[in-house]
C-alpha cells in the first residue's frame, strides 16, 4: 500500500509535479499467477481516469476468451453510451488482429506478432492511448520474433504521456532495465500442483 512518499528526492532538475506525471513502463513477470490479472486490474484504474485503454494479447488462442475481455467490453460500452470512464480496445493476435485483413494467423505466428508490434509502434507515435497493455509480450520477444532493442528504443522515445504495461514470463533483462516498475510474481503454491485443473472464473 504505497503512501505516495518517495524514498528520496533526486537531483534531476524536475519538479515534483513533472516527476509525478512521468509516464511509466511497467513489467509483470515471473512464473506465478497474477501477471495478466494485475495488468487488467490496473487497466480498471486507467478506465476510471477516462484514459483510452488498449489491450493487445499476443499469445492466448482465439478460443481462449478471458472474463476480463467481456468486462472491459461492457465498460467500453458504458463509455460509448454515456461517456463514463475511458474508451477500451481489446485486440487478440490469436483471432487475427482486428485491424488486419488477414483472417487467421495460425500459419505464421512470428509475422502476426511483428504486425502487432508495428501497430503498437504506430499508435505510440500518434499518442493514441493513455495505457497500453501488451499481454504476454515477453514471449514473441524471447522467441526472437520482435527485436528487444527496438522495443526498448521505441518505449524510450514515445512522446507525451502514455503508460505501457507488459506481461509475461522471463522478461528480457533489457526490458527490465528500461522499465520504471517491475514486479515478479512467484508461485508459492498452485492447485495444479495437486492435480487440480483450471476452472472458469479463476483461470479465464
Residues 132-171 that bind a copy of itself (CB under 8 A): 136, 163
In this chain, which of 55, 75, 164, 166 binds a copy of itself, going by CB under 8 A? Answer: 75
> CA angle 56-24-1, nearest 5°?
105
Please, what is the minimum distance in Å from the beta carbon of residue 105 to a copy of itself?
17
Helix (H) or strand (E) holding 83: none
Q: Which stretch binds a copy of itself (CB under 8 A): 35-43, 103-111, 140-148, 150-158?
A: 35-43
Q: Which one of 13, 15, 16, 144 is in contact with a copy of itself (CB under 8 A)?
A: 16
Contact mark string toward a copy of itself, 181..200, x via CB under 8 A? xxxxxxxxxxxxxxxxxxxx
3-state DSSP assignment of residue 88: strand
- By the rule CB under 8 A, 107 interacts with a copy of itself: no
Strands (E), 30-130: 53-57, 88-92
Residue 101 Cβ vs a copy of itself, minimum distance, rounded to whole Å: 27
Residue the block writes with cell 486507467: 46
| Number of residues binding to a copy of itself, judged by CB under 8 A | 83
Nearest to 169 by CA among 151, 190, 184: 184
Instruction: Pick the closest to residue 114 from 154, 153, 141 (CA basis).
Output: 141
Of the pair 65, 114, the CB lying nearest a copy of itself is at 65
Measured from the CB atom, the residue of 103 and 194 that comes closer to a copy of itself is 194
CB of 80 to a copy of itself, least distance (A): 13
Between residues 142 and 183, which has the closer beta carbon with respect to a copy of itself?
183
Walk across the sheet containing 53-57 and list its strands.
25-29, 163-167, 131-135, 53-57, 88-92
Dig out the grid coordinates for 80 from the structure. Answer: 460509448
- Contact indicator for 89, 46 with CB cutoff of 8 Å: no
Amino acid at each position: 500500500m504505497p503512501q505516495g512518499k518517495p524514498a528520496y528526492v533526486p537531483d534531476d532538475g524536475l519538479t515534483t509535479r513533472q516527476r509525478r506525471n512521468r509516464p511509466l513502463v511497467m513489467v509483470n513477470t515471473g512464473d506465478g499467477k497474477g501477471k495478466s490479472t494485475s495488468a487488467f486490474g490496473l487497466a480498471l484504474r486507467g478506465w476510471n481516469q477516462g484514459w483510452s485503454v488498449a489491450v493487445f494479447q499476443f499469445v492466448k488462442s482465439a478460443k481462449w476468451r478471458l472474463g476480463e475481455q467481456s468486462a472491459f467490453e461492457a465498460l467500453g460500452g458504458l463509455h460509448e453510451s454515456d461517456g463514463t470512464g475511458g474508451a477500451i480496445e481489446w485486440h487478440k493476435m490469436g483471432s487475427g488482429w482486428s485491424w488486419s485483413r488477414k483472417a487467421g494467423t495460425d500459419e505464421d505466428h512470428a509475422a502476426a506478432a511483428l504486425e502487432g508490434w508495428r501497430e503498437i509502434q504506430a499508435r505510440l507515435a500518434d499518442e493514441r492511448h493513455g495505457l497500453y497493455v501488451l499481454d504476454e509480450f515477453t514471449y514473441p520477444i524471447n522467441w526472437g520474433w520482435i527485436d528487444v532493442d527496438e522495443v526498448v528504443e521505441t518505449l524510450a522515445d514515445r512522446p507525451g504521456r502514455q503508460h505501457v504495461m507488459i506481461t509475461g514470463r522471463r522478461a528480457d533483462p533489457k526490458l527490465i532495465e528500461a522499465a520504471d516498475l517491475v514486479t515478479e510474481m512467484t508461485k508459492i503454491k498452485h492447485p495444479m500442483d495437486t492435480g487440480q485443473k483450471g476452472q472458469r472464473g479463476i483461470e479465464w
